[in-house]
Amino acid sequence: MPVPKKNKLVGLDIGSHSIKLVEIDDTKKGMVLKNFGIIGLPKDAVVEGTVREMEVVASALKNLYKNLKIKNKNVAIAISGFSVIVKKINIAKREEAELEASIHDEAEQYIPFDISDVNLDYEILSGKEEISEIRDGEESDEESVMDVMLVAAKKDIIEEYVSLIHLAGLNPVLVDVDAFAVQNAFEMSMKDVSGCYALVNIGAEELGINAVKDGVSIFTRDSAYGGSQITEAIMSEFDVSFEEAENIKLGGAKVDDKKEVLEEIFTTVVSGWVQEIKRALDFLSTTYPDESIEKIILSGGACRLPGFKKFLQMETDIPVMELKPFADLQINEKVFDPRYLSYMAPQAAVAVGLALRSIDDK
Ligand SMILES: Nc1ncnc2c1ncn2[C@@H]1O[C@H](COP(=O)(O)OP(=O)(O)OP(=O)(O)O)[C@@H](O)[C@H]1O
Ligand SMILES: [Mg+2]
């Protein structure tokens, strides 16, 4: 049985639409959902992964903490895929210490901005286990290279989020990338991660795709698509405010005479999402001709748009599912309404992935 992790972190997903907070307790009897909350942000406080209104976002964060009566100030946050570059590179095989020493020089040619402006991280994907073999004997060209996943995150964006967390009186312990936090939640929810899956997170302003093979990310892409496209189209077609448009989108306001206009907006935007996902899948099948995607796993608030899942499944011919990040947590039904949690589940994926981490994690 796994040892419960102490020093858990509060998972904070600061998106452009809302902040999602998850707190998980790791107990001897398993993982328990301790807290979950969401607070909306005004339009343009966070734009495509950058914080425009520090004070506004920090005070929303403080309110969320106060409302939920959270004590733990140590938090894990994620920056968006827009602020990172994830790239798989092929380099000559070497020992880990040697790799550590040379990764900056190697990375320079792959990163489109100044290397001193990024925080660099990496993961060896393949080729590691054969290092001792090549030392002893002959080697073919193919065996003398290794695959390394480079993750370069813009320092100024990390600093921006860190200042935001400080401004809210909290302590940022860990900074992840939203796509990897989703992957973390996905791995917890799967008994067996073997095979290829496309994790697709559709929020308000970001559509992120992360293809994972046997638990390792092999491809990521982020584009400026999401639920806000619909809200903005409604604002201009119906001549209403942002709040009213959100309400119309979620079915909370009657639009009898303009039903067709609304459906047209949905169809146009959703087609764009599906095309974007199909382009990524096409790229994957060209790059990895032997792999086939088992499932498309959806997260993010916008994936709930009526009809979207069916349409995506029809267009890709791949089973489409919603990520259920609460499924493996113990839930006290006196505290949390199971129907509410099940509705919120896809939108909570990033925050759950972050809340699974603890201080001792790197
Ligand atoms: N039932 C629903 N139908 C359609 N859209 C929905 C529904 N519920 C939420 N949304 C939309 O989902 C979006 C919010 O999702 P999410 O919380 O994942 O975004 P975010 O993380 O704040 O944004 P991002 O990561 O893109 O910056 C909003 O555009 C919201 O209108
Ligand atoms: Mg998001």
Distance 206 CA to ligand 2 centre (A): 7
Residue among 249, 266, 309, 340 to mutate when testing ligand 1 (max atoms within 8 A of CB): 249
Residue 130: domain span: 84-153
| Residues in contact with 315: Cβ distance below 8 Å, sequence separation at least 6, in sequence order | 274, 278
Taking phi first (over 0 means left), then psi (-120 to 50 degrees means alpha), and beta for anything else, what does residue 306 get? beta
Q: What is the mean pLDDT of residues 250-275?
A: 93
3-class DSSP state of 112: coil
- 47 versus 4: which is more confidently predicted? 47
Residues with CB under 6 A from ligand 1: 15-18, 203-206, 226-228, 246, 249-250, 300-302, 304-305, 347
Ligand 1: which residue has its CA nearest to atom 5? 302
Per-residue tokens: 99: 């790799």
Kindly state the helix (H) or strand (E) to which residue 54 belongs, with its residue range. Answer: helix 54-68
Q: Would 148 be classed as within a structural domain?
A: yes
Instruction: Answer yes or no: are the C-beta atoms of 186 and 201 closer than 8 Å.
Output: no
Q: Would 229 be classed as within a structural domain?
A: no
Q: Would 263 be classed as within a structural domain?
A: no
Q: Give the pLDDT of residue 243.
A: 93
Q: Would 302 be classed as within a structural domain?
A: no
Per-residue tokens: 148: 């390394």
Ligand 1: which residue has its CA nearest to atom 19? 203
Q: Would 202 be classed as within a structural domain?
A: no
Distance 150 CA to ligand 2 centre (A): 22
Residue 313 burial by CB count (10 A; 0-12/13-18/19+): exposed, middle or buried?
Answer: middle
Residue among 12, 14, 16, 17 to mutate when testing ligand 1 (max atoms within 8 A of CB): 17
Total number of domains constituting the chain: 1
Ranking 106-110, 201-205, 305-309 by mean pLDDT, the lowest is 106-110
Q: Would 320 be classed as within a structural domain?
A: no
Band (pLDDT 50/70/90 cuts) for residue 193 is confident
Q: Give the pLDDT of residue 129.
A: 53
State the chain's maximal CA–CA distance in angstroms.
77
Q: Which residue has the tokens 């004590």?
A: 71
Residue 260 burial by CB count (10 A; 0-12/13-18/19+): exposed, middle or buried?
Answer: exposed
Q: What Å distances lie between residue 20 and 43, 75, 211, 273, CA to CA?
A: 16, 12, 24, 23
pLDDT, tens digit, for every residue of 281-294? 999 999 999 999 99
Distance 96 CA to ligand 2 centre (A): 34
CATH number of the domain enclosing 110: 3.30.1490.300
Distance 226 CA to ligand 2 centre (A): 10
* 109 vs 88: CA distance, rounded Å: 13
Ligand 1: which residue has its CA nearest to atom 1? 304
Q: Would 282 be classed as within a structural domain?
A: no
Distance 300 CA to ligand 2 centre (A): 6
Q: Would 141 be classed as within a structural domain?
A: yes
pTM: 0.93
pLDDT, tens digit, for every residue of 137-172? 444 555 689 989 899 999 999 999 999 999 999 999
3-class DSSP state of 348: helix
